[in-house]
Structure 1
Amino acid sequence: MKRILFLAVFLSSIAAISQPFTRKDSLQGGLRPERTSFDVKKYDLNITIDPKEKSIRGYNEISFLITENTQRIQLDLFQNMTIDSIVSRGKKLDYKRDFGAVFINFPQMWQEGMTDVLRFYYHGKPIEAPHAPWQGGFVWKKDSNGKDFIGVAVQGTGSSLWFPSKDTQTDEPDNGARIAVTIPTGLTEVSNGRLESSADLGNGWTRWVWEVTNPINNYDITVNIADYAHIHDTHNGLDLDFYVLKQNEAKAREHFKEVHSMLDCFEDKFGPYPFKEDGYKLVETPYLGMEHQSVVAYGNDYLKGYKGSDLSGTGIGLSFDYIIVHESGHEWFGNSITSKDIADMWIHEGFTMYSEAVYVECTQGKEKAYAYMNGIRKNIHNYDPVIGQYGVNNEGSGDMYPKGAWMLHTLRNVLNDDERWWKIINRYSTRFAHQIIDTRTVCDYFSREMSRSLRPVFEQYLNTTKIPLLVWENENGKWSYRYENTVSHFSLPVDIVVNGKTVRIEPTPEKQFLNGKDKPKVLTENFLIDVKGL
């Protein structure tokens, strides 16, 4: 059985590495003049969602600034959705579809510095999610009372699955978004930001309008439709709004108290909540969860852990609601700080999985936090690199979660100064707040703050599947040590215990010797390395 399992894993790994990327992939994931020549300023989405037909119709009004002279831009909408017309300044624009890309031609050259607004009218039945949130799309369900219970999650799949957009993480609408959704009367619709209005149109339909003032990445824009109860709360001046199925209101009032301790912890470690103007919301969804900015999707059934299980295997993971903590951590890491390319999604997921241990440390102490980290270490598989391939809408491996978190845990122990570490983390989340960055930016920041070059460390953990191997040999009564299985110029200090005392060494691929003959113990619970020979 082990050989069969290994073969299956090996073949799937080879398939992933040799995946043939297509024009469709590069159109969705790449940058070209038709994308870089304009900057989206705001989305104004006006749609009707018909649960009976599982359909959408309406338009997205897109305000933008021309940044390079151009006569052609690219927006995006999945092929199964129908374009009705694209209008600017009272005239219909010519366009050409190429897979999900929509190339729009202006009647004349648009000059740098010009602003414009276009309305993109469309309709259709958006793809249903095969397995939300991991495989994206709409989720059309009924609650236990037979009422519609609808949500959408499209991270990685693309916002253009359900509305026309500039579907790339490199450009967020600077002035946020207005989201107007018309649905059958009797249901509530919840989107990002603050509720601007709701109006019964008198024809069996009600229009809900939400306004987002902060920049927002495309996949975070969302709709949630159900027979919701609304619970309002506050925390240190921040508005908290919870939308839950009416039959779950009582348990939600008790269970969501954890939001307060979560916010206390994260604001202490990561800085102020990044979207105070838009408030903080939890909304119950027909899928497990997603970090939709200012309206965190919650589907964990009011259980501790991850659907009642502990991903760390330590028991510590059952002491908090995983979805509340993890998805809310994304407000700082993923929503406020966003990666330019989904190949760098570890910037979202590694930091956010690390935030779980941070929450444990805030509420239960450092020892429990380290035990939690060592529990999730077993989830690192090293099948494929953490970083995917750029420009083709390709995420890296699932190791972006535990291995990304463990790289941060390792850096903390390399620094060996907790007070300084928390200042570095806080400055990182505030320095790059509301920015779009890449791995090199993260590496350069931590290198500068820690006063050591970390490029080989980032290369080792993010671009290879190799774990540094610290090899020990007893040579005539003396212990030698060196690293194997590393990239060029790799060095990483580690702590060892010799004769009851903790000693720091800095191995490299070159052999070094310990003073004395006592057998050392390597503190692998603090560093992402393997050990051989002891």
Structure 2
Amino acid sequence: MKKLLLPIFALSCLFSGIGQEAFTRQDTLRGSITPERAWWDLTYYDLRVAVTPETRKISGSNTIHYTVLEPYSRMQIDLQTPLEIEGITQDGEKLDFTREGNAYMVTLVKPQVVGNREVIRIAYSGVPRVAENAPWDGGFSWKQDSKGQPFIATSCQGLGASVWWPNKDHMYDEPDSMAIALTVPEPLTAVANGRLRNIDQAGDLRTFHWFVANPINNYGVNANIAEYAHFSETFSGEKGTLDLDYYVLPENLKKAEKQFKQVPMMMKAFEHWFGPYPFYEDSFKLVEVPYLGMEHQSSVTYGNGYKNGYLGRDLSGSGWGLEFDFIIIHEAGHEWFANNITYRDIADMWIHESFTAYSECLYLDYHFGEEAASAYVTGTRKNIRNDKPVIGPYGVNQRGSGDMYYKGSNMLHTLRQLLEDDQLWRNILRGLNETFYHQTVTTEQIEAYLSEKSGKDLTAFFNQYLRSTLVPNLEYRWKGNLLEYRYVDIVPGFDMPVRIMADGASQWIYPSDQWKQTPFKRKPEHFEVDFNFYITSTAL
């Protein structure tokens, strides 16, 4: 599905240090919109994969439907080693192709006429890459349950969906819908995205046919295979009745029935803050896997051990992180920010992770109150490294700093303070999901929207927190009853107001890079900067 492609924010190069890393031709083929990608608009995938656990081999095909945007005779299809394409056909005619690393260049024989809808079919097979540390190091996870039965799952964010199936492996273009058929030996069940349409039986093999009715990003496509137990419930949401399905190992069924009670709680909180769940047509599933978890669209994967917190730990140190199961809340939050609103380039991955890390705070806000939410999000600051900018280099499949999680969530929490209007803030978050519904976006689009709807010029604000590693430091000193203050460690133009507390009374000051003054009737005995703002302060 072709998306509106806007130019990347021009100032990004100034702050992000682009060009300091060496990138290869393969990085460009993977991370850029090459001429062999740009001329065709992806509309539909029909993916069919047979999985053989004994040999760890997969084989199958992907039939790609597309619309011609420009006449062109070469098409890029991506599939990573050690998998190999066996053949490509169009209208029954075999096509020639060459391989350049993980990119296949296909020579089309049929004239590609603008506006025409065309189809190619790609057959492939092999032993796919093993995920050594899923989900961070992607591929196939080949594990076993306690009975020795296969327990298998895929994960591929960043690395790319082409690690296990051939596709147009760039985030800017999504299919409008998708069919996924997974063939596995009995008694295994294969769970993918969307809704289960039917199950075919052929000897001791079963094929599970899933259908995704909505656009889907390619890394959100997944395959999960085990001897699953299944249970379900419904949620009465803003768009009607939403089906909630759960697939877990039988040995964990009782634990899951208890722990997954947090799913309707999550839906209630996130529909309040973000608007309707974006994929009612495809349902919502939580699927147990042999790794920590991942935000696969309508098929969120779970491996947090049926414990609250992050593997039983509170990442904030506030205590509030133990009031919810991190994987259920965080990964499901990605249904709004990642799967509904999807970055066009992984350099803008903060759009996924900053908003979703902040969703943890909003979950607490909804169920436990604003003080709990504030304590949690500010507590996560201890995880911020400020090692490099949050935004990465464009066009080479390179993400920015891991600070996109908690620096990003504290940036958004700070922005909420600047608005001083929680209803407006909620409207903005819901408006993002409505305005960019089922779209791929750039940082520029998100920044422009937030500036417009907040009524504030946030250019320097985002340059500070997304494009630099500097943390604004408020220097202040007292001269009698006169408070003098200024910002240091800031980017040009940064002049964010900040709230201070003086003897229990709050007021705003308006620092910049120049010394300013605010008089008080007397010097307060107790003075502090509101900790809800992500800055530091130094008394001189």
Residue in 1 aligned with 2:314? 310
Residue in 1 aligned with 2:41? 39
Q: For the Cα contact (< 8 Å) 1:524–1:530, is it kept in 2?
A: no
Q: For the Cα contact (< 8 Å) 2:224–2:289, is it kept in 1?
A: yes
Of 476, 487, 508, the match for 1:472: 476
Indicate whether 1:526 and 2:532 are aligned: yes
Cα deviations by residue, 1:419-478 (Å, 9 ceiling, x for unpaired): 211111111122212111111111111111111110111111001100111111334663
Determine helix, strand or coil for the equivalent of 1:480. Answer: strand
Within 5 Å, which residues of 2 pair with 1:42-121?
42-121=44-123
Residue in 1 aligned with 2:174? 172
Within 5 Å, which residues of 2 pair with 1:201-216?
201-202=202-203, 204-216=204-216
Determine helix, strand or coil for the equivalent of 1:78. Answer: coil
Determine helix, strand or coil for the equivalent of 1:471. Answer: strand
Q: Give 1:499 shift.
A: 3.8
Q: For the Cα contact (< 8 Å) 2:277–2:336, is it kept in 1?
A: yes
Could you tell me which runs of 5 or more consecutive residues in structure 2 were left unpaired when the two chains were aligned. 1-15
Indicate whether 1:224 and 2:224 are aligned: yes
What is the TM-score normalised by the length of structure 1? 0.95
Indicate whether 1:423 and 2:424 are aligned: no
Indicate whether 1:500 and 2:504 are aligned: yes
Of 466, 474, 480, the match for 1:462: 466
For the residues of structure 1 that align with 2:161 and 2:273, how far apart are their CA atoms? 31
Q: For the Cα contact (< 8 Å) 1:457–1:490, is it kept in 2?
A: yes
Of 244, 247, 258, the match for 2:248: 244
Residue in 1 aligned with 2:413? 409
Q: For the Cα contact (< 8 Å) 2:77–2:166, is it kept in 1?
A: yes
Closer/same/farther in 2, CA of residues 124 and 441 from structure 1, 3 Å limit: same
Shifted more, 267-276 versus 106-115: the winner is: 106-115
Residue in 1 aligned with 2:366? 362
Q: For the Cα contact (< 8 Å) 1:17–1:384, is it kept in 2?
A: no
Indicate whether 1:320 and 2:314 are aligned: no
State the 4+ residue runs in structure 1 displaced beyond 2 angstroms. Answer: 14-19, 473-479, 519-524
For the residues of structure 2 that align with 1:16 and 1:184, how far apart are their CA atoms? 48
Q: For the Cα contact (< 8 Å) 1:499–1:518, is it kept in 2?
A: no
For the residues of structure 2 that align with 1:431 and 1:18, how far apart are their CA atoms? 35
For the residues of structure 2 that align with 1:479 and 1:54, how far apart are their CA atoms? 69
Of 264, 272, 276, the match for 2:280: 276
Q: Give 1:511 shift.
A: 1.3
Q: For the Cα contact (< 8 Å) 2:86–2:124, is it kept in 1?
A: yes
Cα deviations by residue, 1:146-177 (Å, 9 ceiling, x for unpaired): 10000010000000000000001101101x11
- Residue 402 of structure 1 aligns with an amino acid whose one-letter code is Y
Residue in 1 aligned with 2:22? 20
Q: For the Cα contact (< 8 Å) 1:409–1:526, is it kept in 2?
A: yes
Q: For the Cα contact (< 8 Å) 1:495–1:522, is it kept in 2?
A: no
Closer/same/farther in 2, CA of residues 439 and 522 from structure 1, 3 Å limit: farther
Closer/same/farther in 2, CA of residues 526 and 38 from structure 1, 3 Å limit: same
Residue in 2 aligned with 1:181? 182
Shifted more, 439-448 versus 426-435: the winner is: 426-435
Shifted more, 340-349 versus 70-79: the winner is: 70-79
Residue in 2 aligned with 1:6? none
- Residue 206 of structure 2 aligns with an amino acid whose one-letter code is T
Q: For the Cα contact (< 8 Å) 1:466–1:486, is it kept in 2?
A: yes
For the residues of structure 1 that align with 2:24 and 2:324, how far apart are their CA atoms? 42
Closer/same/farther in 2, CA of residues 522 and 66 from structure 1, 3 Å limit: farther
For the residues of structure 2 that align with 1:17 and 1:522, how far apart are their CA atoms? 41
Residue in 1 aligned with 2:4? none
Q: For the Cα contact (< 8 Å) 2:18–2:392, is it kept in 1?
A: no
Shifted more, 212-221 versus 67-76: the winner is: 67-76
Residue in 1 aligned with 2:161? 159
Could you tell me which runs of 5 or more consecutive residues in structure 1 were left unpaired when the two chains were aligned. 1-13
Determine helix, strand or coil for the equivalent of 1:107. Answer: coil
Q: Give 1:497 shift.
A: 1.6
Q: For the Cα contact (< 8 Å) 2:501–2:530, is it kept in 1?
A: no
Residue in 2 aligned with 1:295? 299
For the residues of structure 2 that align with 1:530 and 1:189, how far apart are their CA atoms? 50
RMSD, aligned α-carbons:
1.5
- Residue 379 of structure 2 aligns with an amino acid whose one-letter code is G
Residue in 2 aligned with 1:193? 194
Indicate whether 1:335 and 2:331 are aligned: no
Determine helix, strand or coil for the equivalent of 1:116. Answer: strand
For the residues of structure 2 that align with 1:374 and 1:81, how far apart are their CA atoms? 45
- Residue 285 of structure 1 aligns with an amino acid whose one-letter code is V
Residue in 2 aligned with 1:5? none
- Residue 523 of structure 2 aligns with an amino acid whose one-letter code is D
For the residues of structure 1 that align with 2:291 and 2:245, how far apart are their CA atoms? 19
Determine helix, strand or coil for the equivalent of 1:69. Answer: coil
Q: Give 1:36 shift.
A: 1.1
Residue in 2 aligned with 1:3? none
For the residues of structure 2 that align with 1:499 and 1:192, how far apart are their CA atoms? 55
Q: Give 1:531 shift.
A: 0.7
Determine helix, strand or coil for the equivalent of 2:501. Answer: strand
Determine helix, strand or coil for the equivalent of 1:514. Answer: strand
Q: Give 1:32 shift.
A: 1.9
Residue in 2 aligned with 1:127? 129
Q: Give 1:15 shift.
A: 12
- Residue 430 of structure 1 aligns with an amino acid whose one-letter code is E
Determine helix, strand or coil for the equivalent of 1:42. Answer: strand
For the residues of structure 2 that align with 1:394 and 1:521, how far apart are their CA atoms? 43
For the residues of structure 1 that align with 2:182 and 2:428, how far apart are their CA atoms? 42
Cα deviations by residue, 1:354-380 (Å, 9 ceiling, x for unpaired): 000000011110000000011111111
For the residues of structure 2 that align with 1:463 and 1:410, how far apart are their CA atoms? 16
- Residue 214 of structure 2 aligns with an amino acid whose one-letter code is N
* Count of residue pairs brought into register by the alignment: 519
- Residue 122 of structure 1 aligns with an amino acid whose one-letter code is Y
Q: For the Cα contact (< 8 Å) 1:199–1:207, is it kept in 2?
A: yes
Q: Give 1:18 shift.
A: 3.7
Q: For the Cα contact (< 8 Å) 2:391–2:399, is it kept in 1?
A: yes
- Residue 88 of structure 2 aligns with an amino acid whose one-letter code is I
Shifted more, 471-480 versus 498-507: the winner is: 471-480
Cα deviations by residue, 1:182-220 (Å, 9 ceiling, x for unpaired): 111110000000001112201x21111100010000000
Shifted more, 245-254 versus 354-363: the winner is: 245-254
For the residues of structure 2 that align with 1:500 and 1:401, how far apart are their CA atoms? 32
Residue in 1 aligned with 2:270? 266
For the residues of structure 1 that align with 2:29 and 2:45, how far apart are their CA atoms? 21
Q: Give 1:134 shift.
A: 0.8
Residue in 2 aligned with 1:11? none
Within 5 Å, which residues of 2 pair with 1:445-460?
445-460=449-464
